[in-house]
Amino acid sequence: MNRPQVIPALDPLYADIRRRDPVRPAVLLDVRERDEFMAVRVEGSLFIPMSQLGARVDEVPKDRPIVVICASGSRSQAATGFLLQSGLTDVGSVAGGIDGWQRLGLPVRHGPVAPGEGQLPG
């Protein structure tokens, strides 16, 4: 019998610490849709909408931890499960999504999306 997959849920404060780690920073993967990303986003995040993740999974770095965020935590759990099934091992979902992120006063950006925003450098 197969056991259900456990999806790691990360507190937004811990997720922010992970992405700022000076030795091995996590990639914050935003899986919301474009209009949601344009309204509010975390600076430095990688933007791949959930609707495109299957086709673009190769763009997700395999050599860094991945922290997945959505609006409230549901899509990020599904995306985390997909990434774990795809062979990534250090993946977690931000509990409460960007809503929880903002409630804790963590930094976000609003307004027009700058060129290159939502892509990883390099």
Q: What is the DSSP letter of 115?
A: T
Distance CA(21)–CA(24), nearest Å, equals: 6
70 belongs to the catalytic site: yes
What lies within 8 Å, CB to CB, of 101 at 6+ separation is: 12, 15, 16, 42, 69, 94, 108
Q: Given 28, 70, 91, 95, which residue is catalytic?
A: 70
Edge-to-edge strands, sheet with 46-47 = 9-10, 91-94, 66-69, 27-30, 46-47
Q: Where are the alpha helices (DSSP H) in 6-118?
A: 12-19, 34-39, 50-56, 74-85, 97-103
Q: Which residues are catalytic?
A: 70
